[in-house]
């Protein structure tokens, strides 16, 4: 079966399209991800339980991960511009639902549905926009476009804590989501009029959705998310959690069984035969997972140190500045050294930043100084890693698989962030609500200053240690799969 990327007219990517795409990217990373910092304010205002708020924080990344490959495949078939525009529509609807969430019994369903819709929006925009970058830009211009796209995603994630804290403190947390809707409208108008790009096929089979694979994958992810976030609260041997564990295993097994036999599998496992794509995707999953260190460290300072969301967000200013300032440095490192070295350097710097946040036994003033340094290094590390990793993954893909391949890569981003945040928050919440000290930390670390928050500080050490473990896994993946030197 012959396939080819088709556009209605010859077209070359321009800055209007690029910045329109970036509007959609920051609608997720800058606005939707503010919940990493403003979750305590939202929870208090809406009267939502800790564990449910943790789900609300992580559910956007989860739904993005569940749908991103599907939307990437649809973008290839029905048009990438159409899917980007659909993403803007979902972004507007989701943001307005969250902004208008009522207090009381309807708070949880409104918030959860709005956050889930934001996740579907991200799935549309992330996969289809990367495919448009691959289609409409070439050579050095493509690397520039990828860098700008990375500034929107990684830079947005860097600014989200600061932006969220400032907005919540001065205008209320709801204003963030009203602004998100406005930005999405602007992005939609900027992308409007772009010639369509899609894959035309001589056969009709490839246009059939892999419903069995999609449904089994969604059931697996939802069951696993409930298992991770509610296990400690409900009890690991409770009927619901036991059922979720069984459902996760059975649905996960069915997913792999369906995908191995489907001629139109929505996850093309053949792409993983390429070790460079595999290594970039696995390390991308792990390094996006360390977003969990943000929710842990920011809540540590708010719940344990008594600082406001704005004050905690201000400490992340170095993160925002560093990631935006050094994104293009990552591009230059890619051009000079290839993908492997900057990916490793970025991962090592990221690991160092997490290690600097782990001495929670210090006085708050000393810890704030460490946090400023740590967040700045976090931004440098991710900036070094971002463009080389994205380029390594995309450069190995054929044009006809640009949407689905980009979808798999971004699925790793979204699911990594969703489960990294969910697991980190679950560890932190489970240990801090227990007033007893962690046995293996007794006598090893002496906590100075206040003693009424030791359980919170101990919980943060363990949760941050989990994030450090993910960085180690990312480094191992890079060393085993990404070749040395420049690619041909």
pLDDT at 205: 45
Residue 223 and residue 186 in one domain: no
Q: Is 121 contained in some domain?
A: yes
Q: Is 181 contained in some domain?
A: yes
Find the mean pLDDT for residues 365-392: 92
Residue 325 and residue 451 in one domain: yes
pLDDT tens across 341-358, in order?
999 999 999 999 999 999
pLDDT tens across 140-198, in order?
788 788 878 877 887 788 889 999 999 999 999 999 999 999 999 999 999 998 888 88
Q: Is 488 contained in some domain?
A: no
Q: What confidence tier does 254 reach under pLDDT thresholds 50, 70, 90? A: very high
pLDDT higher at 414 or 465: 465
Residue 467 and residue 381 in one domain: yes
Q: Is 460 contained in some domain?
A: yes
Q: Is 486 contained in some domain?
A: no
- The answer, yes or no, to whether residue 487 has pLDDT greater than 60, is no
Q: Is 374 contained in some domain?
A: yes
Q: Quote the CA–CA distance of 317 and 98 in Å, as a whole number.
A: 26
Q: Is 305 contained in some domain?
A: yes
Residue 458 and residue 379 in one domain: yes
pLDDT at 315: 94
Residue 422 and residue 354 in one domain: yes
Q: Quote the CA–CA distance of 295 and 310 in Å, as a whole number.
A: 14
Residue 438 and residue 322 in one domain: yes
pLDDT at 77: 82
pLDDT at 400: 66
Domain closes at, from 265, 281, 298: 265
Burial of residue 75 (number of CB atoms within 10 Å: 0-12, 13-18, 19+) = buried
- 3-state DSSP of the chain: CCEEEEECCCCCCCHHHHHHHHHHHHHHHHHHHHHHHHHHHHHHHHCCCHHHHHHHHHHHHHHHHHHHHHHHHHHHHHCHHHHHHHHHHHHHHHHHHHHCCCCCCCHHHHHHHHHHHHHHHHHHHHHHHHHHHHHHCCHHHHHHHHHHHHHHHHHHHHHHHHHHHHHHHHHCCHHHHHHHHHHHHHHHHHHCCCCCEEEEECCCHHHCCCHHHHHHHHHHHHHHHHHHHHHHHHCCCCHHHHHHHHHHHHHHHHHHHHHHHCCCCCCCHHHHHCHHHHHHHHHHHHHHHCCHHHHHHHHHHHHHCCCCHHHHHHCCHHHHHHHHHHHHHHHHHHHHHCCHHHHHHHHHHHHHHHHHHCCCCCCHHHHHHHHHHHHHHHHHHHHHHHHHHHHHHHHCCCHHHHHHHHHHHHHHHHHHHHHHHHHHHHHHHHHHCCCCCCHHHCCCCCCCCCCCCHHHHHHHHHHHHHHHHHHHHHHHHHHHHCCCCCCC
Domain closes at, from 265, 294, 329: 265
- The answer, yes or no, to whether residue 7 has pLDDT greater than 60, is no
How long a stretch of residues is the chain?
Answer: 488
Q: What confidence tier does 2 reach under pLDDT thresholds 50, 70, 90? A: very low
CATH of the domain at 382: 1.20.1250.20
pLDDT tens across 193-230, in order?
888 888 766 554 445 778 898 899 999 999 998 898 88
pLDDT higher at 412 or 175: 175
- The total number of structural domains in the chain stands at 2
Residue 476 and residue 448 in one domain: yes
Residue 175 and residue 242 in one domain: no
Q: Is 206 contained in some domain?
A: no
Find the mean pLDDT for residues 246-268: 88
3 φ/ψ angles, rounded to the nearest 5 degrees: -130, 155
What's the pTM?
0.85
- The answer, yes or no, to whether residue 9 has pLDDT greater than 80, is no
pLDDT at 392: 85
Residue 284 and residue 254 in one domain: no
pLDDT at 204: 46
Find the mean pLDDT for residues 378-402: 82
- The answer, yes or no, to whether residue 37 has pLDDT greater than 90, is yes
pLDDT at 136: 87
- The answer, yes or no, to whether residue 396 has pLDDT greater than 90, is no
Residue 457 and residue 413 in one domain: yes
CB 124 within 8 A of CB 410: no
Domain closes at, from 265, 286, 301: 265
Q: What confidence tier does 463 reach under pLDDT thresholds 50, 70, 90? A: very high
Find the mean pLDDT for residues 125-152: 82
| Residues 6+ positions from 459 with CB-CB distance below 8 Å | 427, 428, 429, 430, 431, 432, 438
- The answer, yes or no, to whether residue 475 has pLDDT greater than 80, is yes
pLDDT tens across 69-95, in order?
888 778 878 899 999 999 999 999 999
- Domain of 225? 211-265
Tokens coding 125: 């925009």
Nearest Cα residue to 206 out of 6, 356, 401 = 401
Residue 316 and residue 448 in one domain: yes
pLDDT at 435: 62
Percent of the chain, pLDDT > 70? 92
pLDDT at 486: 66
CB 379 within 8 A of CB 318: yes
Q: What value does the mean pLDDT of the chain take?
A: 87
pLDDT at 404: 65
Residue 237 and residue 330 in one domain: no
Q: Quote the CA–CA distance of 155 and 146 in Å, as a whole number.
A: 13
């Amino acid at each position: 079966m012959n396939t080819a990327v088709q556009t209605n007219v010859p077209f070359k990517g321009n800055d209007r399209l690029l910045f329109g795409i970036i509007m959609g990217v920051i609608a997720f990373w800058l606005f939707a991800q503010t919940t990493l910092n403003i979750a305590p304010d939202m929870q208090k205002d809406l009267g939502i339980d800790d564990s449910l708020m943790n789900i609300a924080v992580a559910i956007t990344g989860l739904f993005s991960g569940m749908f991103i490959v599907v939307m990437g495949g649809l973008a290839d078939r029905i048009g990438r511009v159409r899917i980007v525009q659909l993403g803007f529509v979902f972004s507007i609807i989701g943001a307005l639902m969250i902004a208008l969430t009522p207090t009381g019994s309807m708070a949880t369903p409104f918030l959860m549905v709005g956050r889930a819709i934001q996740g579907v929006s991200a799935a549309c925009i992330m996969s289809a926009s990367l495919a448009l970058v691959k289609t409409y830009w070439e050579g050095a211009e493509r690397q520039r476009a990828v860098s700008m796209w990375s500034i929107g995603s990684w830079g947005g994630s860097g600014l989200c804590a600061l932006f969220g804290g400032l907005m919540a403190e001065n205008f209320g947390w709801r204003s963030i989501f009203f602004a998100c809707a406005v930005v999405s409208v602007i992005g939609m108008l900027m992308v409007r009029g772009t010639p369509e790009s899609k894959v035309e096929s001589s056969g009709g089979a490839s246009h059939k959705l892999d419903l069995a694979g999609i449904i089994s994958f969604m059931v697996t992810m939802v069951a696993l998310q409930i298992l991770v976030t509610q296990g400690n609260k409900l009890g690991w041997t409770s009927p619901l959690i036991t059922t979720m564990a069984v459902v996760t295993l059975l649905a996960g097994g069915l997913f792999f069984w369906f995908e191995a036999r489907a001629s139109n599998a929505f996850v093309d496992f053949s792409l993983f035969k390429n070790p460079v794509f595999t290594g970039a995707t696995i390390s991308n999953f792990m390094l996006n997972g360390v977003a969990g260190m943000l929710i842990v460290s920011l809540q540590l300072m708010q719940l344990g140190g008594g600082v406001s969301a704005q004050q905690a967000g201000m400490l992340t200013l170095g993160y925002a500045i560093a990631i935006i300032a050094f994104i293009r440095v990552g591009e230059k490192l890619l051009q000079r050294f290839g993908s492997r070295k900057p990916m490793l350097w970025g991962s090592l710097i990221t690991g160092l930043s997490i290690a600097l946040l782990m001495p929670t036994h210090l006085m708050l003033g000393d810890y704030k100084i460490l946090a400023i340094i740590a967040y700045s290094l976090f931004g440098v590390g991710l900036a070094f890693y971002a463009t080389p990793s994205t380029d390594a993954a995309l450069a190995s893909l054929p044009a006809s698989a640009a949407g689905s391949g980009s979808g798999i890569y971004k699925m790793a981003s979204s699911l990594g962030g969703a489960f990294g945040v969910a697991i980190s928050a679950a560890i932190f919440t489970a240990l801090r609500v227990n007033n007893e000290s962690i046995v293996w930390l007794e006598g090893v670390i002496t906590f100075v200053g206040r003693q009424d928050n030791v359980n919170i500080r101990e919980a943060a050490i363990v949760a941050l240690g989990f994030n450090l473990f993910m960085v180690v896994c990312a480094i191992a993946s890079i060393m085993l799969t990404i070749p040395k030197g420049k690619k041909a």
